[in-house]
Amino acid sequence: MNFGIDRISFHTSHYYVDLKTIAAARSVDPDKYYQGIGQEKMAIPSPDEDVVTLGASAAYPLMKDGELDEVELLLFATESGIDHSKAAGIYVHGLLDMAPRCRTLELKQACYSGTAGIQLAIGFVARNPTKKALVIASDVARYELGSPGEATQGCGAVAILISANPRLMAIDPECGYYTEDVMDFWRPNYRSEALVDGKYSTMVYIHALIESWKQYAEESGRALTDFDRFCYHIPFSKMAEKAHQKLCRKFKVDLDKQQLHRLLAESLRYSRVVGNCYAGSMYVGLTSLLDTAEEDLAGKRVGLYSYGSGCVGEFFSGVVQPGYRDALYVDQHRNLLENRSELTYQQYEDIFNYVVPTDGGEYVFPQYKTGPFRFSGISQHKREYESLVD
């Protein structure tokens, strides 16, 4: 019996800013962003969106399709948590009217926590093959205005249904992981923007990749040439490309530009126009690969590298299942990305500078264009959410 990813649904904000707009405001050549880091647009959450509404919106199509009925484990992975105590997943559980017979908790380890959720969920369904698990990876990536990280912001959520005999991807049992206590990127509890040692973070990302790959290769006996595609954690698309080039160089595998393009390009399409989604980023990449690859990927093995600053890296893999295309949400994702609204620089800065009030007062928030759910206000220190669908 196989275990792995049965359905995958992605959601991001209705609003985005073009990196040409940021380049003009910072007097930077736009090619630094478009070519140098490989990013074109970044998704910006409206003031009435947060990780709960993004996550619930990502899972909403699954709910509509009746896919959540057998879910008894809900893992919510985020580094943009909204409460020190209550798991954001419980709000999602309520908004999606899920059955009370469910374990729900929140996971944190920077961008790695989505993968931790997947591996824990696979353990759960392996032990309970008639049950399912829902992993939601949802984040808002924020760096200071004018900082080098600014162009690598973004937001989005991915809802991943884990089951026995999955329709999309069977996850291989072998994996390689690596932990090291480093300060490449972090966010103290009193800050809403991350702190980052940018260049150092790119080096740690690659070091953790090499170490994770060594263990994976040892356990699986596979070589880098045994994969049809790769999906990397995507803080910006050039990072994924550089990581794969460095991995191949380190282990003496020939890789020209054409091969690199064939192995990675489809997985980078969505991230290029959405930006970093932290915990969800690699899964945005996987969604992009499955949705947009013209070649039939059934039976093909995909190498997956997840990285979370601080740091934990994990290399693992999966095999795309026959008939996978029937279980995708391609049209929904295409509509979402094609029908967004572009922000002017001033609108971007206004939204960036808006912060959720923390004075304990009563607030009702204006309505922007969101998904099926919105963060409508605060009353008696409690966040209030509104469903915009029946």
Active site residues: 79, 111, 233
Nearest to 288 by CA among 8, 3, 84: 8
By CB under 6 A, tell whether 196 contacts ligand HMG.
yes
* Residues contacting ligand HMG: total by CB under 6 A: 29
CA triple 143-88-153, angle to 5 deg:
20
Give 3 or 270: the residue with its C-beta nearer to ligand HMG. 270
Give 113 or 321: the residue with its C-beta nearer to ligand HMG. 113
Give 93 or 233: the residue with its C-beta nearer to ligand HMG. 233
Question: What is the smallest separation between the CB atom of 334 and ligand HMG, expressed in angstroms?
Answer: 25
C-alpha span between 275 and 266 (Å, rounded)? 15
In the three-class reduction of DSSP (H, G, I as helix; E, B as strand; rest coil), residue 307 is classed as strand
E strand segments, the chain: 3-11, 15-18, 41-43, 71-77, 103-107, 132-141, 154-164, 169-171, 176-179, 185-186, 195-196, 229-232, 301-308, 312-320, 341-342, 363-364, 373-379, 382-387
By CB under 6 A, tell whether 272 contacts ligand HMG.
no
By CB under 6 A, tell whether 199 contacts ligand HMG.
yes
Give 13 or 152: the residue with its C-beta nearer to ligand HMG. 152
DSSP 41-88: EEE---TT--HHHHHHHHHHHHHHTTTTTTEEEEEEE-SS-S-SSS-H
Quick one: tokens of 100? 């009370």
By CB under 6 A, tell whether 306 contacts ligand HMG.
no
By CB under 6 A, tell whether 185 contacts ligand HMG.
yes
Give 10 or 60: the residue with its C-beta nearer to ligand HMG. 10
Place of tokens 């590298």: 305
By CB under 6 A, tell whether 309 contacts ligand HMG.
yes
Give 168 or 196: the residue with its C-beta nearer to ligand HMG. 196
Q: Please identify which residue in 3, 16, 205, 213 interacts with ligand HMG, judged by CB under 6 A.
A: 205
By CB under 6 A, tell whether 201 contacts ligand HMG.
yes
DSSP 326: G
Quick one: tokens of 18? 């073009």
Among 85-93, 174-182, 231-239, 370-378, which window interacts with ligand HMG (CB under 6 A)? 231-239
Question: What is the smallest separation between the CB atom of 207 and ligand HMG, expressed in angstroms?
Answer: 11
Quick one: tokens of 43? 């998704």
Burial (Cβ within 10 Å: 0-12, 13-18, ≥19) of residue 35: exposed
Site for ligand HMG in 31-90 (CB under 6 A): 31-32, 35-37, 79
Question: What is the smallest separation between the CB atom of 186 and ligand HMG, expressed in angstroms?
Answer: 9
By CB under 6 A, tell whether 180 contacts ligand HMG.
no
Residues lying near ligand HMG in the complex (CB under 6 A): 29, 31-32, 35-37, 79, 110-111, 148-149, 151-152, 185, 196, 198-199, 201-202, 205, 233, 235-236, 239, 276, 278, 307-309
